[in-house]
Amino acid sequence: MHKDRMIHKTITAFLFCLMAGIQIAQADQEATKSKKIYFFGIAKNYTDSTACLTDICPIDNVAIDKQTNGVVNLELYTEQYSNFLKQKGKDGYICATFFSDKYKEIEKQFLKQRKKLERSKGMKLDVIAGSDFKFQFVDSKLIYRNSVDQESQADENAE
């Protein structure tokens, strides 16, 4: 009897997670659109007065939130840059990612930020070439699918 209830709970939890995943995927498709987006990143370390700047990097099919016009999961693009710097032994950097769907706009922002960094007294600028670092596409559908899988696995482990 106890085993039957356990199986019933497991099946119910699985179906709940499956339906939640489907709803999240549908909501994601309705709330987002895909566009070519141009990115660049800035990282600053205030302890050693160093700033790093990436080249402009285009990525196709980036998910854009229709309401805010912001990049979905932008923090994951910033995290890519942060992880790259850490792998190069550059710890303690604060990273920011800039984006636009128009090349002219991102180029203008890039030049403005570069000029600002070059004028900063005591700040050393390290320009990271596109051959050394490029932002990689982040598939938001995979992120949602993985989070649903982790939730269902956590539910199974809890029982």
The tens digit of pLDDT for each residue in 88-113 reads: 999 999 999 999 999 999 999 999 99
- pLDDT score at 3: 56
- pLDDT score at 62: 95
Provide the domain limits for residue 98. Answer: 2-158
Residue 22 scores a pLDDT above 80: no
- pLDDT score at 140: 74
Q: What band does 73 get if pLDDT is binned at 50, 70 and 90?
A: very high
% pLDDT > 70, the chain: 70
Residue 146 scores a pLDDT above 50: no
Query: Cα dist. 58→34, 74, 103 in Å?
Result: 13, 14, 9
Q: How many domains does the chain have?
A: 1
Query: Reduced to 3 states, what is the DSSP secondary structure of residue 129?
Result: coil
C-beta pairs of 145-153 under 8 Å, 24+ apart in sequence: 145/21, 145/25, 148/17, 148/18, 148/20, 148/21, 148/24, 151/17, 151/20, 152/13, 152/14, 152/17, 152/18
Residue 52 scores a pLDDT above 50: yes
* Alpha helices per DSSP H over the chain: 2-31, 74-87, 103-119, 140-158
Stretch among 30-34, 66-70, 72-76, 91-95 having the lowest mean pLDDT: 30-34
Residue 65 scores a pLDDT above 90: yes
